[in-house]
Amino acid sequence: MNGYQERRNGKWTNVIKINEVYEEGCVENPGDVERVTRTEHCYCRGALCNDAAVVASSVLAIITGIGLLVLR
């Protein structure tokens, strides 16, 4: 992060530029070569960039289905 002043519309304005730490996307962990399962690290600006919303809605559908079976 760095800050400086810039002239905008005839007035000096403080400008703070925030640089991104990570690039958006998913990367597989190269240190997991000998593991049976793989580890993937995902970075994004918003929430749920690794499709977690799909998993959450699937879990909700399963819970709702079980609830309907129990209420019968």
CA–CA separation, 40 and 50 (whole Å): 10
- Return the structure tokens found at 65: 């289905």
Which pLDDT tens digit goes with each residue over 32-56?
A: 778 788 888 888 876 666 555 555 5
Six token digits for residue 62: 């399963």
* The two three-digit tokens of residue 17, written as one number: 């530029």
Residue showing tokens 């519309």 = 9
Would you state the pLDDT for residue 47? 65
For residues 32-53, one letter each, b for 16 or more C-beta atoms within 10 angstroms of the residue's C-beta and e for the rest, the string is eeeeeeeeeeeeeeeeeeeeee
Model confidence over 2-17: pLDDT tens digits?
678 889 999 999 988 7
Q: Tell which wins on pLDDT, 58 or 61.
A: 61
